[in-house]
Structure 1
């Protein structure tokens, strides 16, 4: 049989019953669509999460400084030198001791037995660049500067949660907080923190005032970097902060975003891949069933073809080609629907769609393979028919 004749006969067999062929194709369409959506949404979601992960986490570095009262590892001036490293966008130093934790802080000196007069809070000393390094903003007022530090002014900045606990909502009347019997003028409220959430419930003072609470040496350095510079900066920071004792510093470098992306894709794929495979199996069973019914309906045709000289391979090839055409059609339609669905979901969520070109090209082939395998048994059964039995 000429290949062109085989193709024409197979196409005619598929189009002879269009409704049945369409319903048979639907199973493959659902399976391929599910697979394409699964892979596309997994890649898109992974890319989106990694993008946010990059924006916040992969650009932040923290350095914990062990305390040594006799020979401090990091001086207050050392963090400012880090800005000379290429890729560093902001740096701030924080100091805290055990004595500055859980201090009694009051908003006034009045004794009111009917109300809570004081709150237990942590007092921190910091450099003026802390709001930028903590990725926060001044909700009210301002942050202290180098001038306050040089003059030793007893000023303080409250975290937003600390201000609520102390019932300080405005700075118009220059409110003060009392810690250990000393008054500290509140000049600002720090909020909207995207890192170092502990600052939201703390009292922050200049480093010169930190001596009131036995805060003298840097205990933590916050660093923000440009995208892609975190790994390099994390290696350089210890030497830049303390050249002679760099190994003693503990640098918390961000994890690799590639691992996060792979983890997200793996989790999403594992959830939905089984659904796609089940749909493909259902589609394959549907194709096999319909092809088998078609074989039984066309017994007389098979007998006539065999009696006119058609070989077994010609009969098997015809039915295999029909089932393959159904699977291929379902694969093409399923791939198209899946791609459109991925783009639609991405547009609704305002994501950037990530589509694998290889997946879009191989999905129709997978549909054809499913059709080929599904039609294997019916085709073999048709090929085994004897012309005399078929005609009878």
Structure 2
């Protein structure tokens, strides 16, 4: 049995235990040690932050660009849905009695309504099985005698104006051509390419069956009625002279472009303006609200880009964890000395968490700045209005901080497990 310890030995041990218990790491010391640890290897710290910078920057840029793009999508959808009306010829209760219920001055009647920009009547021409579109008459042995099976649309001048065409060459036909039933045509650029028409300087013609039409315009793009790009558009009176009017099952319709926000009002007035005695012959159809499609597009963009931002954040967290763990191994002797001088395990843990959190927070601030600059620069280049939610800018540095702290949990725990005697022997 061992003899009892002397009183002075017991007092010394108690004093040492009280000294260890009283050891603490003040916030000032914690900040100083963390900054010193980061600045000890500035190049490594910068590369460690790079992952967080990319992750947070991508996060901010993604949310900002998605919000900006969604705003532009909303604007364009709203502009189209609020400025276009289609009027269908239903023929009333007896649709076979009238081949065309639209009056000859239908364009003028609708354009007299307040808020209407352009309006025109059109219908698809029914061609025979042997009537094709080509650049030489049928029976010729040279050129593209075989022709193309293309749609021919009879249209009043207001249809092309309402469609908002972008011409690569030439012009659209007007009231003069329509009034005189001129044999002229406007074709889409896709059909022109297939027919080999590259210039209008030689006054090229297209043949529909055996009927020649001088091409006076080539349309490259339209804001409305995209099927015009693959069609041959001829004056309405010319089509009536050659093929007759619209037939049952392929009745005429009217395309109306309006001022912004006037579409529904025009839709309610169009039938009465066309025929006050028989408004039931017409059905005005404003375009449906594309809210569902718009929401699906925005949701898909959000999910895709958020996935990319999450991947970047994970890469940044792995980089911080790896570098912090390497720092723990390299600074084992320092950790052992601090432990021998009275530092507790929680002090070591707090110090390494503070270092990794500082790297993450600094990377978050830099990434937020770069992401914001990216959104503004892209909006300026595209002539858009930049949209960034304030909560995104505020939350992004916090996300960087959280990423750094989470990445430093395991290395900090490893550091706290370092034994002083073993570390000092290295």
TM-score (norm. length: structure 1): 0.74
Contact 1:304 1:387 in 2 (8 A): yes
Confirm whether residue 379 of structure 1 aligns to residue 412 of structure 2. yes
Q: Cα distance, 1:328 vs. partner? A: 0.8
- The corresponding residue for 1:210 is 240
Match of 1:132 among 149, 154, 161: 161
Q: Kindly indicate whether the alpha-carbon contact (under 8 Å) linking 1:131 and 1:137 is maintained by their aligned counterparts in 2.
A: no
SS, match of residue 160 in structure 1: strand
Q: 1:283 aligns with which of 316, 328, 340?
A: 316
Report if the CA contact (8 A) 2:123-2:155 is conserved.
Answer: yes
- Structure 1 gap ranges (5+): none
1:93 counterpart residue number: 121
Shift of 1:39: 3.1
- The question of whether the paired residues in 2 share the 8 Å contact of 1:88 and 1:226 is answered with yes
- Within 5 Å, give how 1:30-109 maps onto structure 2: 30-48=54-72, 59-66=83-90, 68-71=95-98, 74-96=102-124, 98=126
Preserved CA contact (<8 Å) 2:172 2:186: no
TM-score, normalised to structure 2, is: 0.69
Structure 2 alignment gaps of length 5 or more: 1-24
Find the aligned partners of 1:110 and 1:98 in 2 and give their Cα distance.
18
**Higher radius of gyration, 1 or 2:** 2
Q: Determine which of 177, 185, 188 is the counterpart of 1:158.
A: 185
Q: Are residues 22 and 205 of structure 1, via their aligned partners in 2, closer, same or farther at CA, if it must alter by over 3 Å?
A: closer
Per-residue deviation, 1:369: 0.4
Deviates more, 1:304-313 or 1:10-19: 304-313
Distance (whole Å) between structure 1 residues aligned to residue 206 and residue 53 of structure 2: 70
Rounded Cα–Cα distance in structure 1 between residues aligned with 2:424 and 2:331 = 11
State the distance in 2 between where 1:120 and 1:380 align.
75
2:152/2:231 contact within 8 Å kept = no
- Do 2:155 and 2:233's aligned partners in 1 also have CA atoms closer than 8 Å? no
Task: Tell me the C-alpha RMSD between the 2 structures.
Answer: 4.6
Secondary structure of residue in 2 paired with 1:70: coil
Counterpart for residue 2 of structure 1: 26
Change (3 A) 1:309 1:179: closer
Q: Distance in 2 between matches of 1:391 and 1:178?
A: 96
1:326-365 → structure 2 map (5 Å cutoff): 326-347=359-380, 352-365=385-398
With over 3 angstroms needed to count, the CA separation of the structure-2 counterparts of 1:321 and 1:213, relative to structure 1, is same
CA distance in 1, matches of 2:121, 2:237: 10
Measure, in 1, the Cα distance between the counterparts of 2:376 and 2:344: 48
| Contact 2:183–2:238 (8 Å) recurs in 1 | no
1:189 is aligned to 2:216? yes
Q: Is the 8 A contact 2:90 2:283 kept in 1?
A: yes
Conserved in 2, the CA contact under 8 Å of 1:90 and 1:224? Answer: yes
Aligned to 1:249: 283
Which secondary structure state, in structure 2, belongs to the residue aligned with residue 253 of structure 1?
Answer: coil
Corresponding residue pairs, total? 384
1:333-362 deviation digits (Å, cap 9, x = unpaired): 222233334444455555554444332332
Deviation sequence 1:156-191 (CA, Å, 0-9, x none): 33123689969895799xx998988xx89x687243
**C-alpha spacing 1:20/1:211, structure 2 compared with 1 (3 Å):** closer
Q: Does 1:143 align with 2:143?
A: no
Q: Report the 3-state secondary structure (helix = DSSP H, G, I; strand = E; otherwise coil) of the residue aligned with 2:183.
A: strand
- Flag the 1:56–1:171 CA change in 2: closer, same or farther, 3 A: farther
Tell me how far apart the structure 2 counterparts of residues 117 and 17 of structure 1 sit (CA, whole Å): 76
The answer to whether the Cα contact below 8 Å between 1:158 and 1:200 also exists between their aligned partners in 2 is no
